[in-house]
Amino acid sequence: MQVKSKSVVVTGATSGIGFSVCELLLKNRFRVIGVGRSKENCEAARERLIEKYPEGEIVFFYGDMVHQQEVFRVASEIRDYLRKSSGDELHALINNAGCVRSWYMTSNEGYEHQFALNHLAGFILTHELLPCLIRAKGRILFTSSASHKMMRMRWKDLMFEKGYNPLLAYKQSKLCNMLFAYSLNEMYRDKGIAAYGVDPGLVNTSIGNKETGFIVNLVWSIRRRFGVSPDEPAKTYLMLCTVETPPNELYFKFLKPARYSSQVNKENADRLFAISEQLCNIRYER
Amino acid sequence: MYVLITGAAGGLGRAFANECAQRGYDLILTDINESGLKAIKYGLERKYGISVRARACDLTSDASVAELMKYIRKEKIQPDMLLNVAGMDNEGGFIERNITSVLDIVKLNLEATLRITHSVLKERNSTSRFYIVFVSSLASMYPMPLKATYAASKRFLLDFAYALREELKSRNVSVLTLCPGGLATTREAICGITSQGFLGDATTNPIEKVVHNTISLALAGKAIYIPGLLNRSLSTLGKLFPKKLITRLLYIRWSHAQKQWLDMKA
């Protein structure tokens, strides 16, 4: 008898960490639902994956998740697909899509890109897929980073409108990932949901070379050479998806729980949660 | 303060709208892109807990602008500030381009800007001070091969704004022209900036600061704002050297950048 495979959604799945995670998930017989920005990237990624795992179940949805309309559209496409393919159950959501920007840029809603994509996109997608996740007692993973440390939320200027700093905006967005994971555990642990932040370490991906200027490009091109292959952090994602009893820790690096910033606390988490609900015009069931 | 922003769904327009909302101004936004207009309207309303008016309009159409003005009258809105942000650019040599796309630049950057400015000035409350901002460009400082129509359209706006400023000085109207270098507004704009290498970074102005300073300077009654020390120096240099030489140098620079840009697109 064939074992029913479990579905996992991976955003930012066409390259870097997301792509490696997809590979590993397919290898372990998960049904993979990838999300990427453009149709071309998604098709190319799908072809590469199918070539390696011809038996694998892999489907892609595309959309520029920096804009909220696009996130809602992609989410509803995924829900349709889950209904047809997986009994409306989602085993894991991996909120991995992220960007770096050299300059202050805004989404269609006028929200700063790194905040909008690295945090708000995951905030909406999680909300839209939560019923499916609850049914499967699923897991929610975030690609956070050690750069969330040594950073405080800039509550008075969340979108860096007083003067943009690419690195600080990135650090804050990764702190947001930790705070959101914290909130999800607080709210839905008793429903069987477990949320984690993953520190992938320094990874050799092209994140700093996409839509950035000369300086950020140059700095990242040098820095990424010291990074590990994205296959390394992918193992941590797989472990968190497969481990029988979900661990109680919040933050993982190289398969092990790691220390996170003291800024990741209930006060900050609640505050960010309320602001995010307001900015996305959605309300999580309490 | 009631502010009317054209091109409000674009990168620069959104930043202006955000800046005005932060200053507590009332907003009426317009753009030809209706869904984009809705997105920025809701975005601002959620972020600031305010109410924003938005109305789609094709500024190149007399009828559409008349509709917009009718709406403004009906809602009893009296703008105190007009931010003329709507505009467009097309890359490429004149004869390589489709003539329609060249003429579209003239239609939007010039005709449409004049049409809405005229309409709004006719409607304004003449007892209080009125502010107009034109978005020109650093490109207005010199003739620009390969961006010939665009640069000339921006030159038109700059000269026009100076003249209008003088005409309306006694009527309590203040006119400011913004002449920015590169602005990271869209994915295409980023391509344009990166294709120029380090100089792209150096001439790119941070949007959040540009919009903040533009409003401050407009309120202070200034005539022109060229953001960034390097851009100000470049514009001064443009005045010191003969036009023929500058044009030649720019041609070399843009042919190079454009090749990079086309490679990047491919």
Range of weakest confidence among B79-83, B91-95, B181-185:
B91-95
Region A35-64 average pLDDT? 97
Burial of A240 (0-12, 13-18, 19+ CB in 10 A): buried
**Sequence ranges of the domains in chain B:** 2-265
In this predicted structure, the answer to whether residue B95 has a pLDDT above a threshold of 90 is: yes
Contact across the interface for A110 and B18, Cβ inside 8 Å: yes
pLDDT tens track for B40-90: 999 999 999 999 999 999 999 999 999 999 999 999 999 999 999 999 987
Residues from chain A that touch B11, judged by Cβ atoms under 8 A, are 105-106
Nearest to B11 among A105, A162, A212 (CB): A105
User: CATH number of the domain at A7-201+229-280, please?
Assistant: 3.40.50.720
What is the pLDDT, as a whole number, of residue A1? 39
pLDDT tens track for B223-254: 999 999 999 998 888 888 898 998 998 898 88
State the smallest CA–CA distance between residue B181 and chain A in angstroms.
Answer: 14
pLDDT tens track for A230-248: 999 999 999 999 999 999 9
CB B27 within 8 A of CB B44: yes
pLDDT tens track for B138-147: 999 999 999 9
Is A41's Cβ below 8 Å from some Cβ in B? no
What is the pLDDT, as a whole number, of residue A2? 47
**Which tops the pLDDT comparison, B238 or A254?**
A254
Task: Give SS3 for B53.
Answer: strand
What is the pLDDT, as a whole number, of residue A3? 53
What is the pLDDT, as a whole number, of residue B265? 63
Region B169-181 average pLDDT? 96
In angstroms, rounded to a whole number, what is the distance separating the alpha carbons of residues B34 and B111?
Answer: 21
The amino acid that residue A171 corresponds to is K
Nearest to B39 among A67, A101, A211 (CB): A67
φ/ψ (deg, to 5) at A57: -95, 110
Region A69-85 average pLDDT? 97
Q: What is the mean pLDDT of chain A?
A: 96
Q: Which of B205, B29, B3, B202 is nearest to A104 (CA)?
A: B205
In angstroms, rounded to a whole number, what is the distance separating the alpha carbons of residues A103 and B192?
Answer: 14
Is B47's Cβ below 8 Å from some Cβ in A? yes
- Which residue in chain A is spatially nearest to B13 when comparing CA positions? A110
Q: What is the mean pLDDT of chain B?
A: 94
C-alpha pair distances (Å), B223 with each of A7, A109, B151, B174: 60, 31, 19, 8
In this predicted structure, the answer to whether residue A145 has a pLDDT above a threshold of 80 is: yes
In angstroms, rounded to a whole number, what is the distance separating the alpha carbons of residues A176 and A158?
Answer: 11
What is the pLDDT, as a whole number, of residue B266? 60
What is the pLDDT, as a whole number, of residue A65? 98
Contact across the interface for B208 and A111, Cβ inside 8 Å: no
Contact across the interface for B201 and A163, Cβ inside 8 Å: no
Q: Which residues contact B251 (CB under 8 A, 6 or more apart)?
A: B145, B146
What is the pLDDT, as a whole number, of residue B195? 84
Torsion of CA B41, B45, B50, B53, to 10 degrees: 20
Q: Give how far the C-alpha of residue A199 lies from the chain's centroid of Cα atoms, to the nearest Å.
A: 12
Which structure tokens are listed for B10?
Answer: 């674009």
Q: Which A positions 85-124 lie with beta carbon below 8 A of chain B?
A: 101-111
In this predicted structure, the answer to whether residue A5 has a pLDDT above a threshold of 60 is: yes
Q: Which CATH class is domain B2-265?
A: alpha beta
Residues from chain A that touch B9, judged by Cβ atoms under 8 A, are 108
Nearest to A102 among B14, B47, B184 (CB): B184
C-alpha pair distances (Å), B126 with each of A153, A232, B164: 45, 68, 16
